[in-house]
Amino acid sequence: MNRLDTALVTTALRRFMTCSRAYLLSYGKCVCFSLIALLLALPVAAQLATPIPAAIVTDLGERHATLRNAQGAYQLHATSRTESASTLRQQTETAPSGLRLLELPTIEYRQLPESKLWGDWLVMPSGRYAWQGILQLEKAGWNTLYFDQYQLNRGDMLLITNEEGEVRGAFTEANNVSSHSLTTAPLYGERLMVYYYPASGERRNIPWQLSGITTALLTTVGEELPPAVGGHQEPGSPWFILKGLECAEATVRHPEVERIARSELLLIVRGRYLSSGTLINNSRLDGDPLVLTAAHCLNASYKNRELDYVRQSAEQTVFYFNYFSPTGEPLVNGIEEQTLAGAELVAYNEEHDMCLLRITGVQPATPQGQCPIPQSYRPYLAGWNAEREFPAPVIGIHHPKASVRRYNRADEKPPLESYDIASVPVQWVNSHLHIKKWDVGTTAGGSSGSGLFDKNHHLIGALSGGNSYCSTPYNDYYYALSEVFTGYPDDKCLKPHLAPTSDQTILEGLDPFAAMPPVRLSHQLYSLMRDSVAIRTINTAVRGIAVRYDIDTSVLYLGSVLVMGAMREWPPVTLAIYRDEGGKPGKKLYEQTLPKPSYLLVNDAGQSPQQRILSDAFQAFFPAKEGEPLTLSAGSYYIALEGSEGKALSAPLLMSKAQPHTTPYAWHLVGSTWEPAKLSGAPYLGHYWVDPIFLGKLKAGGTTAPESANEPRVMLSGERLYILLPDSWFVGDTPVELELYSATGQHILSLPLTNVSSSLSLADYALQSGIYIVHLTGAGERYNCKLIRP
């Protein structure tokens, strides 16, 4: 029986809530070093989408307001309906082992008419022609659209919008792939409008065919929906809670796995099946966008094993990059703009549940040998170990219940065993790594296809299924790369694709843009106080806020990430960049109006939504203005947010509660004067959470990263152990070894550390009070210290 928990899929759909009241709420008190990660996105919430010209934006704004009552909408009739195999309640922890795919009930529309039957050409105010079609669906839901015969000319644009004005696109010739197909990221609605703008401005044959729509339904979720939050829970409560996942920490709590975490993707297949997958390196080191996942993620849990169906599933897959929380506690929804769509089947073997894909919806015309994934996604292609021998502990990184990335760890080396599931018509004999017990974490529906890594951060397997829960973290099964690396035809094994130029069985990972990476500067991500945050109180006297950043080299501005609290509607906000003059914001160098961020509807109380709300704390990326590059030389700058037309700034930004410095990094615009920020009349020495993204030769985190250590520093705060290491301890990709011993010499744990800052939870090891020895080894250096646990 599959464990398919539909009720909690709202996390995958990233519920964003708003609240009109101004309030200040404080949350979690845990502290830890943060990972050094970047969050960039394309200008809109869709794969390889082009910014929409201003004239089209105006046209869409005028038309979507009347879309709900528009005449002439074409009524679609479903060709099939599917129900999730899972119950809507949390399954009991005595359920048998099963595949860990997350499945939604859906309505399918697969017999769509010719475009001329549901749309027509219109004359735009400019005198140019555009094609418009309106579709009426049977029920509101998350709609994934499938196009075939897709072959746009240069300059053509295709867009899809809903009643609320959300847009997918503009899609262009950059989305042309060899299969001539296009799959869009899900868009909520009951009525959709499709626009086609030919570059010529003249009527022409439509260069695409809408071949199908999948509507994923959440109307039956009911009581298991997380309650509305954003000010309606007591201080200290997280913004969202996923039942049964409390033991699986967000990966941000484990910066030592930051690189391999960037390789983990959330997959949505056919608009219905949610799972995980791992970007994986090959011996050519060419950045080929290969993704390793599980076969059952594409064959509907072995219900449809026809290869044509599996190939179509690959074409209809959307890949979400970097969907993680920037805080460990409470959890914050990730950015949703970083998606690619469409893939081809490279290797597929049901005898092992193995599936290797190549993403096809990537940047066109990328020179051979270069990674075609957008640089702003900061992809990492995981290294791998295809041998039966590998070092423990092993680490799992995944998207359980389609939530933000989570971390698992098992300290015992998993044995190779057979794995038998009654519902699977294939016997997996001596092919799977058996996790007998997780020392940290659990898996769940949505974890299928996720990667298992050894102590050296090499990928050794991908998840098929299991039966682990937080209270019973036992018995998960990953198919082993070693058993499907060779011994089969090229299209059923991994070596021809992962080691095409050598006979090696172990390969290191690849950071394809390491030479010039985009960097997210942040006062919060690299702070011990990162998890201790609050929501800004709205002050009618404050027209704007600014955050100071010190830059030690010339950089190119790419955009900013805002980490936001709840609001009822998106307020008019202007982002500006000021040069430092006399220790305060001076000359304005840059300005742009921020559009409403991409967000998704909430299905309140299990019914169709009555109104749009932004739910829970979330991140949103706002790219720099097209065609107006801004280069900043070394110096101090202020990233500011201001209300429009002289009004107060009402954006509920997240903010740190305290910082150990005296320089005012937060500023308020009072009237027309910038002043050091004050809260309740007292100086505020924290930071608002506005993170600029720069391209330049900055160290990770820029000048706001943790201070470099001359020797290792080991600190204990509550249940978490923090380690800060010198840069000189890292040589190439060789990690620093952390070992913990009891006072009597008993070995407790070993972990590889790959970052200068790392942390781990001692609560995971049930340590008693007493004295322990921390031993660190790296680059020929050794360090020992005593650790006293109260």
Q: Reduce the secondary structure of 693-711 to three states and give it as a string.
A: EEECCCCCCHHHCCCCCCC
Number of H helices, E strands in the chain: 5, 50
Q: How many CB atoms lie within 10 A of CB 26?
A: 12
Region 261-290 average pLDDT: 95
Cis peptide before 609 (omega within 30 of 0): no
Residue 29 pLDDT class (50, 70, 90 cuts): very low
Determine the Cα angle at 144 with ends 423 and 146, to 5°: 100
Reply yes or no on whether the pLDDT at 221 is more than 60.
no
- Token pair recorded at residue 401: 């219940």
- What CATH class does 263-507 carry? mainly beta
The answer for 630, left when phi > 0, alpha when psi is -120 to 50, beta otherwise, is beta
Domain boundaries, given as residue ranges, for the chain: 54-76+112-220, 263-507, 518-704, 713-789
Say whether 143 sits in a helix, a strand or coil.
Answer: strand
Mean pLDDT across the stretch 545-553? Answer: 92
Burial profile 219-254: b = 16 or more Cβ within 10 angstroms, e = fewer? eebeeebbebbbbeeeeeebbbbbebbebbbbbbbb
How many Å apart are CA 38 and CA 259, to the nearest integer? 11
**Location of structure tokens 């129900």:** 83
Q: CATH assignment of 54-76+112-220?
A: 2.60.120
With 60 as the cut, is the pLDDT of residue 721 above it?
Answer: yes
The answer on pLDDT for 730 being more than 60 is yes
pLDDT at res. 614: 52
For the record, the structure tokens of 438 come out as 């997780």
The reply to whether 518-704 shares the fold of 54-76+112-220 is yes
As to burial, measured by CB atoms within 10 angstroms (0-12 exposed, 13-18 middle, 19+ buried), residue 743 is: exposed
- Quote the Cα angle for 100-102-106, to 5°: 150
Helix (H, G, I), strand (E, B) or coil at 173: helix
pLDDT given for residue 649 in this prediction: 94
Under DSSP, is residue 561 helix (H, G, I), strand (E, B) or coil? Answer: strand
| 274 touches 773 (CB < 8 A) | no
Surface-to-core class of residue 505, CB atoms within 10 Å of its CB (0-12 exposed, 13-18 middle, 19+ buried): middle
Structural element, H or E, at residue 668: strand 666-670
Cα 361 to chain centroid, rounded: 18
pLDDT at 84 over 60: no
Closest among 343, 255, 345 to 295, alpha carbons compared: 345
Q: pLDDT at position 700, please? A: 44
pLDDT the model gives residue 79: 93
Residue given tokens 């200040």 in the structure block? 24
28/502: higher pLDDT:
502
Determine what percent of the chain is predicted with pLDDT higher than 90. Answer: 46
d(CA 90, CA 85): 13
Closest CA to 101 of 118, 116, 112, 86: 86
CATH superfamily of 713-789: Immunoglobulins (2.60.40.10)
Candidates 2.60.40, 2.60.120, 3.40.50, 2.10.240; CATH matching 518-704: 2.60.120
**pLDDT given for residue 297 in this prediction:** 97
Per-residue pLDDT reduced to its tens digit, 127-154:
889 999 999 999 988 899 999 999 999 9
Per the CB < 8 A criterion, the answer to whether 337 and 14 are in contact is no
Q: Which residue has the higher pLDDT, 755 or 598?
A: 755
Q: How many degrees, rounded to 5, is the angle at CA 121 between CA 120 and CA 125?
A: 135
CA 288-293-297 angle, to 5 degrees, is 130
Q: Would you put residue 287 in left (φ > 0), alpha (ψ -120 to 50) or beta?
A: left
pLDDT higher than threshold 70 for residue 445: yes
Please name the amino acid found at residue 18.
Answer: T
The rounded mean pLDDT for the chain is 81
Calpha distance 4→445 (Å, rounded) = 5
Residue whose structure tokens are 């053509």: 156
Sort 72 into a burial class: Cβ within 10 Å, 0-12 / 13-18 / 19+. Answer: exposed
| CA–CA separation, 172 and 49 (whole Å) | 7
For 270-277, what is the mean pLDDT? 93
Instruction: Write the pLDDT tens digit of every residue in 706-717.
Output: 445 577 878 776
pLDDT for residue 205 is more than 90: yes
User: Is residue 236 pLDDT above 70, yes or no?
Assistant: no
pLDDT band at 2 (very low <50, low <70, confident <90, very high): very low
User: So what's the pLDDT on residue 780?
Assistant: 85
Report whether 17 contacts 602 (CB < 8 A).
yes
Q: Which long-range contacts (CB under 8 A, 24 or more apart) does 512-516 make?
A: 512/287, 512/370, 512/371, 512/373, 512/379, 512/381, 513/371, 513/375, 513/378, 513/379, 516/695, 516/696, 516/697
Question: What's the pLDDT at 728?
Answer: 85
Q: How far is CA 396 from each of CA 390, 569, 634, rounded to the nearest angstrom?
A: 15, 38, 40
On whether the CB atoms of residues 672 and 704 are closer than 8 A, the answer is no
d(CA 720, CA 438): 19
Average pLDDT (181-197) is: 91
| Neighbour-count burial of 489, counting CB atoms closer than 10 A to its CB (0-12 exposed, 13-18 middle, 19+ buried) | exposed
